[in-house]
Amino acid sequence: MKPVEGLIFDLDGVLLDTAQHHYTAWRRLADELGISFLPKDNEKLKGLSRVESLERILSMGGLMLNNDTKLQLMERKNAWYIELIADMTSEDVLPGVRAFIESSRKAGLHIALGSSSNNATTILQRCNLETLFDAIIDGRHVTHTKPDPEVFLKGAAQMNLSPSQVAVFEDAQAGIEAALAGGFHAVGVGLPSNLPGAAWVIPGFVGLTLEGLHQALALQASG
């Protein structure tokens, strides 16, 4: 296969450890509602939109609520989440992330963000990451949430690349499914057991090089 020409990064759990803050805030809400919500339940919510996450939690508890109540619950969850991320700075960017993106940019690759979060731009700005991206697609720009590929297809379109020219980095099962559905090279970030279907799974970005990425994807394509 030809080397990829673009990279799309998910935000929560890939560039920053914000996935744990989403979990903490949802857990607080679930506790108040009397719904059991464990880390294994949260794994399935990763990558989904705010409203879809709430719907899943309510259905776990068998709760039917009206739209006004759901909106209030989402606002509360988001307020807690915003408190949790309030002190984030560029120091919180996960190890190796900035170096890998910077070296990829120097090598001429296009870089995009593909996140379900409506808080993405705030976080990127706060952590001094925004200028590293040629395109930023987030929860405000999409109609269909992951595992639909819309967010990544929009990112590829803004980079003027086709999906087969792009690798997507994702920590969520829904994100890997979205990348595969769109025809992208799906690279998992985390534990292989949580990310079936990924072409390659890395534990994080420390020591990752473009050469390493190309070799792993070529190996997978040939096997």
Q: What is the DSSP letter of 34?
A: T
Q: Which residues are catalytic?
A: 10, 12
Give, as ranges, the residues between 153 and 212 that touch ligand BG6 (CB under 6 A).
Answer: 172
Q: What is the DSSP letter of 11?
A: S
d(CA 218, CA 216): 6
116 contacts ligand BG6 (rule: CB under 6 A): yes
Give, as ranges, the residues between 53 and 72 that touch ligand BG6 (CB under 6 A).
Answer: 53
Sheet of 166-170: strands edge to edge? 135-137, 110-114, 6-9, 166-170, 185-189, 200-202
Shortest distance (Å) from residue 170 CB to Mg ion: 6
Please identify, among the stretches 46-54, 60-68, 88-96, 103-111, the one whose residues bind ligand BG6 according to the rule CB under 6 A. Answer: 46-54
For residue 104, the partner it binds in Mg ion, ligand BG6, none, with Cβ less than 5 to 8 A by kind, is: none
Say whether the peptide bond before residue 147 is cis (omega within 30 degrees of 0). Answer: yes
Which regions of the chain does DSSP assign to beta strands (E)? 6-9, 110-114, 135-137, 166-170, 185-189, 200-202
- Token output for 165: 């020219």
Give, as ranges, the residues between 169 and 188 that touch Mg ion (CB under 5 A).
Answer: 171-172
d(CA 184, CA 201): 14
d(CA 95, CA 208): 11
Please identify, among the stretches 2-10, 52-60, 74-82, 213-221, the one whose residues bind Mg ion according to the rule CB under 5 A. Answer: 2-10
Shortest distance (Å) from residue 41 CB to Mg ion: 16
Please identify, among the stretches 114-122, 124-132, 204-212, 214-222, the one whose residues bind ligand BG6 according to the rule CB under 6 A. Answer: 114-122
Nearer to ligand BG6, 120 or 199 (CB): 120
Residues in contact with Mg ion by the rule CB under 5 A: 10, 12-13, 171-172
Residues in contact with ligand BG6 by the rule CB under 6 A: 11-12, 19, 22, 45-50, 53, 78, 115-119, 139, 172
